[in-house]
Structure 1
Amino acid sequence: MLIFPEGVRLATSTEIPFDPDLPELLAKISNAQIEPGYIVHEINDRLFKYYIEANVNAKQVWPLFCSLCKILFPEESQPVLGDISGETLHGEYANTAKMLELFDRFQFYLANDCSLQFGLGNSSPEEICEVFVASTKHFQIWTNTVDSVEKIMADYDLRRVENLQFIDEFPRVTTSLEYKDGFDGYQDLLEYLTKLVS
């Protein structure tokens, strides 16, 4: 079973609002096989050929993100920041290494707070390439170069898994993290990061 980030877990029977399908939902949770791994979707799109989704254990979220971005965006990239609502902000292009260094001190919150989502990308009218970590901390990757992504996945002992399950397919509970470093919560951190990259 996947090791989840601190901010999310599968719901228990007492945490699911009344639902006539409760027995089926509980059975689905009981039989969940949410495991580390990834799945590659071949896409017939002129802007990208592959859409890759991946589950990684919580401690691997930030290291894997950095490894992917350094390979896919060796020079410049554009930050993507958002909250659980799904709305995202695209910041200014900057040096990838400097961008990762800027985010590094907040890696615990980015990798564990399920009210935050983030990514880096480098896109043009001809191509989309982006590494995005959704609020539930599974990876979404749009790219034309699947081989380089799979090499990184192998470095983290991640393998292709058919019918890979993700936690956002199940009833779940998200919890607020305790913030330090002068921030009151995820909104405060998101506002701070948004100003840095705008």
Structure 2
Amino acid sequence: MSSTLVFPDGIRFPAREELTGPRAERDRLWARIGRANLRPGFVVRASEEPEFQVFAEANVDAPGLWSAFSTLVRALLPAGAESCQLLLGDPDSELEPIARDSAGRWLEVLEPYAHRLVHDAWVQFGLVDDAGGKVSGVLVTPTKHLQVWAQSRDLLVDILGGLGLEELSELELLAGYPVVLEPLTSSIEEAPDLEALFSKLREDSSEAAEE
């Protein structure tokens, strides 16, 4: 295995004995895991949609994922406009739009839960601004790679490069492999389980909207 990507605490490759299905399928999956080449980096594609110009996906080592997310949000989403929407969900449901506020305010709301958000594979979240029919957004998927919608390729590449990431011709994503997801149940005292975390974020977002 030549992977160098640092995984989140709540995600790991399965042990051979944890693979299920016919033996031939288990052997195939185990061999594929052995050939995995997951590493930090990003790819950028031109968009065919009029709402945004480019779409990027990026692998970031887990310890730096929150910093990368917040850096991208601050650079790509309008700073003062209260048109930024928080999206929240689990792997089995569509992202739920919570409320709108400024990007900076949402980062303040999310920051106390940063460790849980970037390490717990049962949480996906993002911030998106679609004011004026133009979409800019940053999403952290359940398997913790970044998806980014932006209006400028040059700006996006500069930001990702500034995070120490290399632009690649191809990017392997953890989402393409069998993985074991392990919910974090004790990383945050105030939110010991997933539903409590979601409820707390909704509560905090309501308080932010009232301020």
Determine if the TM-score, normalized by the shorter chain, exceeds 0.5.
Answer: yes
1:12-23 aligned within 5 A: 12-19=15-22, 20-23=24-27
| 2:18 paired with 1:11 | no
Work out whether residues 191 and 200 of structure 2, in 8 Å CA contact, stay in contact via their aligned partners in 1.
no
Give the Cα–Cα distance (whole angstroms) in 1 for the partners of residues 42 and 132 of structure 2. Answer: 27
| 2:174 paired with 1:182 | no
Work out whether residues 132 and 141 of structure 1, in 8 Å CA contact, stay in contact via their aligned partners in 2.
yes
1:70 maps to which of 74, 85, 90:
74
Work out whether residues 81 and 194 of structure 1, in 8 Å CA contact, stay in contact via their aligned partners in 2.
no
CA deviations over 1:36-90 (Å, ceiling 9, x no partner): 0000111211111211000000011100111011111222321111111132111
The one-letter amino acid of 1:112's match is H
Identical-pair percentage:
27
Higher relative contact order (CA 8 A, sep 6+): 1
Work out whether residues 109 and 201 of structure 2, in 8 Å CA contact, stay in contact via their aligned partners in 1.
no
User: After TM superposition, what 4+ stretches of structure 1 lie above 4 angstroms from structure 2?
Assistant: none
CA deviations over 1:14-55 (Å, ceiling 9, x no partner): 111123422211111000000000001112111112110000
Root-mean-square deviation (Å)? 1.4
1:132-147 aligned within 5 A: 132-147=139-154
Higher normalized helix content (fraction of residues): 2
Find the residue that maps to 1:33 and give its secondary structure. Answer: coil
2:203 maps to which of 175, 195, 198:
195
The one-letter amino acid of 2:65's match is V
**C-alpha deviation, 1:177, in angstroms:** 1.2
Q: Which moved more, 1:138-147 or 1:109-118?
A: 138-147
1:120 maps to which of 127, 143, 152:
127
Find the residue that maps to 1:80 and give its secondary structure. Answer: strand
1:156 maps to which of 156, 160, 163:
163
2:54 maps to which of 41, 45, 50:
50
What is the aligned partner in structure 1 of residue 209 from structure 2?
none
**C-alpha deviation, 1:125, in angstroms:** 5.8
Work out whether residues 136 and 167 of structure 1, in 8 Å CA contact, stay in contact via their aligned partners in 2.
yes
Give the Cα–Cα distance (whole angstroms) in 2 for the partners of residues 68 and 82 of structure 1. Answer: 20
Give the Cα–Cα distance (whole angstroms) in 2 for the partners of residues 91 and 185 of structure 1. Answer: 19
Q: Which runs of 5+ in 2 are unaligned?
A: 207-211
